[in-house]
Amino acid sequence: MGIPTQVLGLLASLGLLVFVHELGHFFFARLFKTRVEKFYLFFNPGFSILRMKKINGKREFSFFSKSSPESWADYPESTEWGLGWLPLGGYCSISGMVDETKSADSLGEEPQPWEYRSKPAWQRFFIIVGGVLFNFVSAIILYVAIFFTWGDSYLPIENAKYGFKFSETAQKIGFQNGDKILMIDTIKPVDLSDFSIKVLVDNVKEITVLRDTQLFKIAVPSDFARKVVGEGKGIATYQFPFVIGSVVKDTPAEKAGFQSGDSLIAFNQTPMNYFTDYQDSLNQYKEKPITIRVVRSGMVKDLHVIPNKDGKLGVSPVDPVNYFETKTTYYNFFQSIPKGLSFGVEQLGTYIKQFKLVFTKEGASQIGGFGSIGKMFPQEWDWIRFWENTAFLAIILAFMNILPIPALDGGYILFILIEMITRRKPSDKFIGYANYIGFALLLLLLLYANGMDIIRGFFK
């Protein structure tokens, strides 16, 4: 469990999304009688884990091979299906198309009827847009299935009876830990996620909170969203009592005598009731002795413990959902279809609004790679979280691929639209050079994003 489960979830999700994306290209290519030379899940520099091709009605396989069997070259009309070893994407090599698998110089002088370059612009448009379309449709299908299977569960913001713990950025503009959120301008947020999204993307001016028994209105500065993104800790989290659910063996907590069911009420003689408060305090006492007061079966005990080098005791709290009254709405099959569709469109719209923050200094500092994506997945396998994350990643993949950047689907679409308007087709060599530039930019972005993950992992 733990990190291996997160890695498994990430690879399974990305593998599924890449397959669906390339399947979109494949579907429209075959629909318009265009040959697909290769269909690969994951990249295969040097060798492929698996190759398969249908020869004379029979499937032939090749395992851990550096190249395709020579005999397969006699059957160019049949697609080679493969599994690569580098899980950074995949590809669908379409005959007569300049892409990551071939250059303009590798194409024959005369276009053939089965080639991509011989097809009219409108057919090439659908061949390219097919990947994005399939990703978005797959997200809608997943959301429909999620609502039909599990319904829609959430914690209404008014049910957060212990209030919220706010980030340092939020406290600077007037929030205090324990505040209960009531209104965003004139709108009542549904839950914490709805609150956070609206504050980040909707230019909110004022937030009303309940503090003890008094109402306070907090003005939201125009640069608040950028500062929140730059801090990288969100705006707020739920406060809930720290009651130990389980104690891990051979950890500081077990050695100090902590037990399941203990309620933590004080830290070094300072009253402290909420789980989030302990998280912050323990980080300041890594490998240093502390005293934590607990209530056990009505009795108060002081336990002396030394947190490990990561500031951890080795305990997990009782699931916070036990402290709150959540709300679940269930949908039958026909109700789940419009719900899934509207939710998917809403998620896409929200992501597009949030995307503008990437172009700020604070947003650029929070760009992450595979490490950041992997943290979306829980350390213990959870099917609903897996499918929710996969659906959301499908929307992100669809949006990112439609951006008008050479080497991405959006770059090809841009060239096709220019051709439709001007009636002049860009040369294959021009598209090839543009793709080289696009690949270089994407590689730099990939290195930057994953480099930021490494920096945050070691220095924060």
Quote the pLDDT of residue 376.
Answer: 82
Pair 310, 352 in one domain: no
338 inside domain: no
18 inside domain: no
20 inside domain: no
Report, as an integer, the average pLDDT of 401-429: 90
Q: Is the pLDDT of residue 361 over 70?
A: yes
Report, as an integer, the average pLDDT of 347-360: 85
Q: Is the pLDDT of residue 459 over 60?
A: no
Measure the CA–CA gap between 236 and 193, rounded to whole angstroms: 10
Quote the pLDDT of residue 2.
Answer: 59
Residue (of 66, 64, 62, 65) closest to 53 by Cα position:
62
DSSP 202-269: S---EEEEEETTEEEEEE--TTHHHHHHHHTS-SEEE--B-BEEEE-TTSHHHHHT--TTPEEEEETT
SS3 307: coil
Pair 183, 196 in one domain: yes
Over residues 176-199, the pLDDT tens digits come to 999 999 999 999 999 999 999 999
Return all residues near 204 (Cβ < 8 A) that are at least 6 apart.
184, 185, 198, 220
- Let me know: does 183 contact 208? Beta carbons within 8 Å: yes
Residue (of 243, 245, 279) closest to 263 by Cα position:
243
272 inside domain: yes
Pair 164, 189 in one domain: yes
Quote the pLDDT of residue 458.
Answer: 62
Q: Note down the domain range covering 212.
A: 157-238
Assign residue 262 the CATH number of its domain: 2.30.42.10
Percent of the chain with pLDDT over 90: 63
**How confident is residue 435, by pLDDT bands cut at 50, 70 and 90?**
confident
Report, as an integer, the average pLDDT of 329-352: 94
Over residues 418-432, the pLDDT tens digits come to 999 998 988 878 888
Q: Read off the pTM.
A: 0.86
Quote the pLDDT of residue 40.
Answer: 95
Quote the pLDDT of residue 365.
Answer: 73
Measure the CA–CA gap between 52 and 61, rounded to whole angstroms: 5
Residue 438 phi/psi, 5-degree rounding, is: -60, -45
Q: Is the pLDDT of residue 4 over 90?
A: no
Pair 66, 100 in one domain: yes
17 inside domain: no
Pair 353, 420 in one domain: yes
Q: How many domains does the chain have?
A: 4
Which range, of 69-78, 103-112, 340-349, 382-391, averages the lowest pLDDT?
Answer: 103-112
Assign residue 196 the CATH number of its domain: 2.30.42
Pair 192, 220 in one domain: yes
Of 238, 257, 276, the residue at which a domain comes to its end is 238
Quote the pLDDT of residue 193.
Answer: 92
Measure the CA–CA gap between 85 and 362, rounded to whole angstroms: 35
402 inside domain: yes
Q: Is the pLDDT of residue 85 over 60?
A: yes
Pair 184, 222 in one domain: yes
336 inside domain: no
Pair 272, 311 in one domain: yes
Measure the CA–CA gap between 93 and 29, rounded to whole angstroms: 10
Quote the pLDDT of residue 340.
Answer: 96
Q: Is the pLDDT of residue 134 over 90?
A: yes
Pair 143, 164 in one domain: no
Pair 132, 3 in one domain: yes
Pair 294, 183 in one domain: no
What is the longest distance spanned by two Cα atoms in the chain? 88
The beta strand positions in 297-391, using DSSP E, are 299-305, 315-317, 327-329
Quote the pLDDT of residue 6.
Answer: 86
Return all residues near 206 (Cβ < 8 A) that are at least 6 apart.
184, 185, 217, 218, 219, 220
- Let me know: does 191 contact 212? Beta carbons within 8 Å: no
Mean pLDDT of the chain: 90
- Let me know: does 41 contact 18? Beta carbons within 8 Å: yes
Q: Is the pLDDT of residue 460 over 60?
A: no
Residue of 1 and 441 predicted with greater confidence: 441
- Let me know: does 295 contact 258? Beta carbons within 8 Å: no
Measure the CA–CA gap between 412 and 404, rounded to whole angstroms: 8
405 inside domain: yes
Pair 1, 123 in one domain: yes
C-alpha neighbours within 13 Å on the C-beta side of residue 7? 5
Q: Using H for helix, E for strand and C for coil, what is the string for 35-70?
A: CEEEEEEEECCCCEEEEEEEECCEEEEEEEECCCCH
Report, as an integer, the average pLDDT of 389-405: 93
Q: Is the pLDDT of residue 37 over 70?
A: yes
Measure the CA–CA gap between 371 and 92, rounded to whole angstroms: 26
